[in-house]
Amino acid sequence: METTHKHPPYLMIWLYLAVLTAAELALAFELPISRNLKLLLLLFLAVWKALLVAMFFMHLKFERWNLRILAIIPVPLALIFIAAGMSEHIW
């Protein structure tokens, strides 16, 4: 039996991702702003794009919290791991 589910607007997400990628390129090579601001904005755009993929393409937005937690837990662990490695440069 054929059933039609309601799906997220995948093509709209694709458009967002394409526009954000173009914005990243413009920011990296065209905009005359300070290096630190550029770095922050580029990281912000990358995280934004990654969240769009995780939430809509990997359907985390629609999953139960117990599965979301499984996906989220490694992220702070990875950040702690990187921060620990960076510690001698920061302090």
Partner 1 sequence: MTHAMANAMRPPFPAERGVDVYNKKLGMWVFLASEVMFFAALIGSYVILRFGAPGEWARPGIVLNIKITAFNTFLLICSSVSMVKAYAAISDGDPRKMRFWLLMTIIGGATFVGIQVYEYFHLVEHGFTPAGVREGSELAELVKDGTLPAATMGLYGSTFFTMTGFHGFHVTCGVLSMAYLYFVKALPGKITPQDYAGIEVVGLYWHFVDLVWIILFTIVYLI
Q: Pick one of 31, 33, 37, 86: the residue that binds partner 1 (CB under 8 A).
A: 86
Judged by beta carbon, residue 33 or residue 77, the one nearer partner 1 is 77
In SS3 terms, 28-66 reads as HHCCCCCHHHHHHHHHHHHHHHHHHHHHHHCCHHHCCHH
Amino acid symbol at 90: I
Asked if 61 contacts 55 with a C-beta cutoff of 8 angstroms, the reply is yes
Can residue 36 be called a binding residue for partner 1 (CB under 8 A)?
Answer: no
Decide: is 32 part of the binding site for partner 1 (CB under 8 A).
no
Residue count, binding to partner 1 (CB under 8 A):
48
Rg (Cα) of the chain, in Å, rounded? 18
**Is 39 a binder of partner 1 (CB under 8 A)?**
yes
Is residue 1 a contact residue for partner 1 (CB under 8 A)? yes
Report d(CA 43, CA 36) in Å as an integer.
11
Query: Binding of partner 1 at residue 31 (CB under 8 A)?
Result: no
Q: State the nearest-atom distance from the C-beta of 63 to partner 1, in Å.
A: 8
